Each structure stands twice: as C-alpha cells, then as structure tokens.
Amino acid sequence: MHTENSPGTETAVRPLLPETRTVTLRVNGTSHQLQLAPWTSVLDALREHLHLTGTKKGCDHGQCGACTVLLDGKRINSCLTLAVMQENKEITTVEGLAQNGELHPVQQAFIDHDAFQCGYCTPGQICSVIGMVNEGKAKTLDDIKDLMSGNICRCGAYVNIVKVAQEALEKNTGL
Amino acid sequence: MRPFTFTQAQNVDTAVREVSSDGAKFIAGGTNLLDLMKIDVMQPSHLVDITQIALDTIEETEAGGLRLGALVKNADTAYHELVETRYPLLSHAILAGATAQLRNMATDGGNLLQRTRCYYFYDTHTPCNKREPGSGCSAIKGYNRDLAILGTSEHCIATHPSDMCVALAALEATVHVTGKSGERAIPFADFHRLPGDTPHLDSNLQPDEIITSIELPAQGFARNYTYLKLRDRASYAFALVSVAAALELEGNTVKEARIALGGVAHKPWRVPEAEALLQGQTASRENFQKVAEAYLQGAQGFGHNNFKIELAKRAIVRALEKATKMEATA
C-alpha cells in the first residue's frame, strides 16, 4: 500500500487500486489518523471511516445541503470537499454540538419549533443555522431565506425552520 | 469518481510545473471540479492542490485599486470591507450566486474557471462539443431555455454561469496569471472566449497557467450601480439574464456607463459601442431603451430561449434606472 505519491512522475497513469495516504482529520475536537484515498470526500470520511453518520448524504453534488458541516466555524458542503485537503482544520458535525449532555440551543429549537418531519435534512439544517449565526450577515427574514437556500427540506418544514433561524439570530446561538 | 493521484503545491512555480503533466488539473475550492468528476464529465488523472499557496489576501494596489488573491473565498471577498464599500457591485454579484456553503468554499480564481451548466454538457449520454469536441451540439435543436442568445456558433450555445464575472467585466478587472513562460496580465474582456469552432476552450488561460490574482481598477462605481439577476427562483438558481450596471453621473447626465450581461453568452457580454451611446446623455428611460436595443443587436434565439432577447432588453433598462435612482435618493 502506498502512502506517498511521487510528484511529477507518471502522473498521466491513472492508479488502478486505491492509493491511500495518512490523513489527520480533526473532528469535534478529536484528531483521527485515517488511511484515505485522495478522492475520499469529507462526507465519506465522516460516515464510512469515522462512522459519524449524523452528517447525511443527499444529492452528493452540493445541491441539497444535507451534508453541511462546519469547517473552522464556517458551513461547507462536505460532499464537495476532499478529506486530504482538510488537515489542520476544525471540522464540526452535528455529533459535536451537544455539550455535557445538553443539546446545542439550535438543536433544542428544532424540537421546540417542530422544525422537521422525516429529519433527513435536519443535521445539515442545524449546522447551517449555526454557520449563518457565526457569519453574522443575516438581519431580515429575506436574508434568512436567502442565506439558508443551500439547505433543502423535501418535507417542506421551511416555515418552522425559519422560526428556528430567527430565534438563533435573536439569541445569537452560534458555535 | 475515477481514481487520480494527488499532490500539494507549496508555491506557484511548483504548481505550474506539476500541472504541466498530461491529465493534471489544479484544485482549490473544488465545488465545480469535484461535481463534474463525480458525473464523469471531467476526468483528470492527477490533481494538484493549490490551497497551500499564499494567494489568499486582498490588498490595495498603488493604482488605488484592489488585488484579490486567487485563493480568497467568494464569501470573504463579498463581505470584505473594502469590497463592500468601494466595489459594492462585485459584492452584490457574488452574493447573488450559489449558496452560503458554496461561497465559503469556492475561490475567486476558481469562479472565473467555472464550466457551463448547459444540461447537455452535464449529460454524458448526449453529444456535446464542449465535453467531447466534434461530437455535435445537442442544445441547438434541443431544450435550450437557459442557453445563449449572443455570440453563439453552430458548434455551441453554452453560457458562462458566473455572476461574479459579470461584475468583473463591468468593472474592467485584470486577471494576473503565471505560466511556464512567466507572468502576464489579461484584461477581463479577453479572459473568456466565444465558442467559435473550439467550444471546448472556455478561456484563454493556457493549460500550464495559474491565476494568481484579480486586480480591480480604482474606479468602483460605488454610487450608482445595480446587479440585477433574473432567474426561476429567488435564490440558488443560475441567471436567465443578469445585468451588472454601473454609472458615473453628473447631475442627470451620464459621464460613463458600464453594462455587462450574464446568462446570455459564452462570456460576460459587453458592447462598449452601445455603452458609449449614453456618454454625455441624460439618464432617461428613453436613452436606456436605445442602449438596450443596441446591446441585443444580432441576438438569436434557438426556440425555448427566444424570450431572453426581450427579457435582456427590459433588464438593462430596469438595471440602469435602478442604478440612476440610487443617487437621487442618496
């Protein structure tokens, strides 16, 4: 098994077998050493290698937002991010939000406002609301709708998700 | 996704050397490239990660403008204080595109190199001259509602998808690139290409060249500007037609006008002769309509997208009226 690629040589030859390398990912405050092929997305690393299945795979193309995680406090689509490119970054998933057995205020607000039905988009929605609060750019209802447009809810729980987002902005419940 | 090899470049010279091998591509934000690799539209055999290179700052230039490092994220650019205050047109255009998640990932250099969102380019089961040169264009006689009406060729009617680039075209930015044979500066109007008979080439960037920065000239049109984006839903959709309009006014007289259109051509569409019609003229609806007519000279629809011609004219008038009124209410 190779752990290093040789730069500049044989680059036109496509590897036939997974050529892995050691990748250190910092997830929810803990460092993990993983052997990953370069094409492994952060999403697949989380779900398949770290067994953190809270982060969901929806479209796998950056269109639905189910895979949203926080990277150094900013929300990204983990499906469109290569794990090998995210060493030395702090990745926060839905599993890392509760502290000392207490839900993060945004998680609690999703329950209080009944802001989900099937729940599949919810981890991504929660991370996205927290990211929006961190970014500090949403002021109005229209801002919320625009800045949350990267998270789709096919059950249509938007009305209550917006209530969560409004509450999170009022109480400034970021990360 | 097909397997590929991967290296990380620490500086521009190494990056340029490593990308020169067959089948190699740069990766930064990756939002467009990885998407296209997953559906087999793009098949690089080697990726050179350039995100370690120090090209991630926004700095003032001696000429009074701003230099946007190629690796600055789209969101960080749009929300940068100097961009917001001096180049609000650019801020608004960036924020009109994609989603918060994507803007946090995508880089300024990468934004320029986005591929078209033509449905047939994405569908590997249909011919597409951009994806597979010589295979034919499925869009010309196919479903072409989103596609180009200006500068098309018999080989391709794809549009350039970027919002940011429409503002950069209006602001007359300069793209700085480095290749094996050294550095060069490309005026924004010459950066992207028309499809002609080589639609597989989106831009004039050479395969061994890397974008290092995007330079904005001093004039930012921060008083009278509008980015008007018309699309099928209010957020996270590509433009049917977009207009970056920037005016320099003296009273109600136009000293200078800049107009760039998005969603209508293979590159952001500028017609300097049509803009010049406004010079020294009153900022009035009647004059704006004349410019709009001149801008759409030679426009051709392909059936489903015929409506874009009239839509673009009305969008130009509305954007110029909006840009004019800003000062009146200021």
- Domain ranges within chain B, ordered by starting residue: 5-51, 224-329
Do A28 and A91 fall into the same domain? yes
| B126 and B135 Cβ atoms separated by less than 8 Å | no
Q: Residue A84's closest chain B neighbor by CA?
A: B6
Residue A13 lies in a domain: no
B235/A145 CB distance under 8 A: yes
Residue A62 lies in a domain: yes
User: Which of A75, A80, A81, A133 to mutate to test binding with chain B, by most B CBs within 10 Å of its CB?
Assistant: A80
Mean pLDDT along residues A38-57: 98
Q: What is the pLDDT of residues B200-248, one digit of tens each?
A: 999 999 999 999 999 999 999 999 999 999 999 999 999 999 999 999 9
Last residue of a domain, one of A52, A77, A96: A96
Mean pLDDT along residues A108-121: 98
Residue A155 lies in a domain: yes
CATH code: domain of residue A112: 1.10.150.120
Does A72 reach chain B within 8 Å, measured CB to CB?
Answer: no
B51/A85 CB distance under 8 A: yes
pLDDT of residue B328 exceeding 80, the answer is no
Do A25 and A83 fall into the same domain? yes
Quickly state the pLDDT bin for B326 (edges 50, 70, 90): confident
| B268 and B165 Cβ atoms separated by less than 8 Å | yes
Last residue of a domain, one of A35, A69, A96: A96
Mean pLDDT along residues A131-148: 97
Which residue among A21, A71, A82 sits closest to B30, beta carbon to beta carbon?
Answer: A82
Count the domains in chain A.
2
Does B1 reach chain A within 8 Å, measured CB to CB?
Answer: yes
Quickly state the pLDDT bin for A175 (edges 50, 70, 90): confident
Residue A128 belongs to what domain range?
A: 105-171
Helices (H), B142-301: 164-171, 272-276, 285-295
pLDDT of residue A78 exceeding 50, the answer is yes
Q: What is the pLDDT of residues B81-92, one digit of tens each?
A: 999 999 999 999
Residue A157 lies in a domain: yes
User: Which of A82, A85, A86 to mutate to test binding with chain B, by most B CBs within 10 Å of its CB?
Assistant: A85
State the DSSP H helix or E strand holding residue B310, giving kind and residue range, or none if neither.
helix B307-329
* Chain B: closest CA distance from residue A43 (Å): 13
Do A92 and A109 fall into the same domain? no
CA trace torsion A144, A126, B96, B329 (10° rounding): 20
Mean pLDDT along residues B147-151: 98
Residue A46 lies in a domain: yes
CATH code: domain of residue A26: 3.10.20.30
* Chain B: closest CA distance from residue A153 (Å): 14
State the DSSP H helix or E strand holding residue B321, giving kind and residue range, or none if neither.
helix B307-329
Residue A28 lies in a domain: yes
Do A90 and A110 fall into the same domain? no
Q: What is the percent of chain B where pLDDT is above 90?
A: 97
Give B19's Cβ-side CA count (13 Å radius). Answer: 23
Architecture of domain B5-51: 2-Layer Sandwich (3.30)
Give B135's Cβ-side CA count (13 Å radius). Answer: 15
Give me chain A's average pLDDT, please.
93
What pLDDT shows up at residue B21? 85
Do A27 and A75 fall into the same domain? yes
The domain B224-329 is classified under which CATH number: 2.60.40.1510, 3.50.50.60, 3.10.50.40, 3.30.390.50?
3.30.390.50
Contacts of B25 (CB under 8 A, 6+ apart): B19, B33, B42, B44, B46, B47, B48
Does A12 reach chain B within 8 Å, measured CB to CB?
Answer: yes
B101/A75 CB distance under 8 A: yes
Q: What is the pLDDT of residues B160-200, one digit of tens each?
A: 999 999 999 999 999 999 999 999 999 999 999 999 999 99
A-B contacts at Cβ under 8 angstroms = 124
Local structure of residue A132 (DSSP, 8 states)? H
pLDDT of residue A9 exceeding 60, the answer is no
